[in-house]
Chain A
Amino acid sequence: MMERRIGPDGRDDIVTRTLRRMYAPPVDVGYWDSLEARIMARVGAAEDVWWQPYGEWVRGGLIAAGIAALLAGGGLALASNAEAHVAANTILETPRELPQQIATGTTGLSAHEATLRYVLEP
């Protein structure tokens, strides 16, 4: 059986010592330099665009531009619809009247006479 000491703060000496061995970090400086190099390689891979430091601004700008494009598109669509509506109304509301000359010129004539007058008239 092992002798066991528990300190006033409730820490068990043997257990703590064993835990520290179990969780001991690498002591080789080369290991830490290698870890740093791996971290920086990942940072470098993530930083593939020159504006990375301004990423927040760029993101904000892109979002604003997207919203502006949506609004502009919506506005254009509305304007286009209104124009089409007006054009349709104009066509529908225009009375279907034949030109006076044709309307009066053919009244009471046979097809043969009408053709003859059409050809002979200046």
Chain B
Amino acid sequence: MTSVLIAMPCAPMADLTDASATPARVRERELVLAAQGGEREAFAALVRLHRQRAYAVARAIVFTHEDAEDAVQEGFLHAYKALARFRPEQAFGAWLHRIVANAALDIGRRRKVRAAESLPETIAAPFRDPAEADELRRRLEQGLGKLGERQRSVIVLHDVQGFTHAEIGEVLGIPEGTARSDLHHARAALRKGLGDLWSVER
């Protein structure tokens, strides 16, 4: 696989939050209304539309694939229970991602992951390419473990999942400027940890 963005055929969040009534948006609104009316099939269709993007959000926040799965399931369940309170004129994706992010943050708090030493050796265990188990990867895992939860989420959401600063702010409930600043600090911290691995060429 060349990159996560290619592997995930999801529309960027900006499209989902766009107020213009695109066919996809109209369809999504129909599904939301039907789900609010009690049609479980409609909710299943919404799950199908958003499952990968929701996973990407959760995966950026927690340390393991398994925790991301749990967060996605929790998030969709919370969303289903709160569906009556959702206003259909809102962007469903943005609303859902916020719920999934909160579920992931809750799981992260429960795990109480604090130090790099406690990081699972296989940060993406089930889908790991053995050829990548090298020094760089090990250092990155350590570096990510040393970052704060928010900075880690920001760098993964931005550099890996392709979210914009504004989208990250929306998902994590922080100002766009804070997301930008967190990204800068997270990159700097990772670079510092990798310093002796290479000589910089700009």
A108 proximal to B (CB < 8 A): no
B130 to chain A minimum Cβ distance, whole angstroms, is: 11
- Counting CB contacts under 8 A, is A78 at the interface? no
Q: Kindly identify which residue among B60, B76, B200 contacts A6, using a CB–CB cutoff of 8 Å.
A: B200
Contact status A6-B202, CB under 8 Å: yes
**A10 and B155 alpha carbons, distance in the complex (Å):** 12
The answer to whether B156 has its CB under 8 Å from any CB of chain A is yes
Q: How far is the CA of A17 from the CA of B156 in the complex (A)?
A: 11
Complex interface: stretch among B24-32, B39-47, B102-110, B168-176 = B39-47
Given A15-B194, A25-B55, A43-B76: A2 in contact with B37 (beta carbons within 8 A): no
Most buried by B among A4, A16, A19, A39: A39
Separation in Å of the B99 CB from the closest CB of chain A? 13
Residues on the B chain within 8 Å of A46, using CB: 77, 80-81
Q: Are A3 and B201 in contact (CB under 8 A)?
A: yes
- Could you mark each residue 8-46 of chain A with 1 if its beta carbon is under 8 Å from any beta carbon of chain B, else 0? 001110111111111111110000100110111011101
Contact across chains for A2 and B36 when beta carbons are under 8 A apart: no
B44 partner residues in chain A, CB cutoff 8 A: 36, 40
Which residues A54-108 have CB closer than 8 A to chain B? 55-56
Interface size grouping (class) on chain A: 35 or more
The answer to whether A4 touches B201 (Cβ under 8 A) is yes
Q: How far is the CA of A23 from the CA of B183 in the complex (A)?
A: 17
Residue B87 at the chain A interface, CB threshold 8 Å? no
Is B7 interfacial (CB 8 A cutoff)? Answer: yes
Query: How many interface residues does B have (CB within 8 Å)?
Result: 57
Determine if A116 is an interface residue (Cβ-Cβ < 8 Å). Answer: no
Identify 12 new A-B residue pairs, CB closer than 8 A, beyond the known A14-B198, A15-B191.
Answer: A4-B198, A15-B140, A21-B124, A23-B161, A25-B8, A27-B7, A36-B51, A39-B47, A42-B76, A42-B77, A46-B80, A55-B81
B56 interface residue (CB < 8 Å to A): yes
If A39-B73, A46-B77, A56-B84 touch, whether A4 touches B200 (CB-CB below 8 Å) is: yes
What chain B residues lie within 8 Å of A35 (beta carbons)? 51, 55, 69, 72-73
Query: Contact between A47 and B40 (Cβ–Cβ < 8 Å)?
Result: yes
Q: Is the CB of A36 within 8 A of B40?
A: no
When chains A and B are docked, how far (Å) is the Cα of A2 from the Cα of B156?
22
Choice from B48, B85, B123, B187 contacting A36 with Cβ under 8 Å: B48
Is A52 positioned at the interface, with any CB of B under 8 Å from its CB? yes
Q: Which of B37, B123, B126 contacts A53 (CB 8 A)?
A: B37
Q: Which residue of B lies closest to A25 (CB)?
A: B55
Contact of A19 among B38, B80, B156, B199 (CB under 8 A): B156
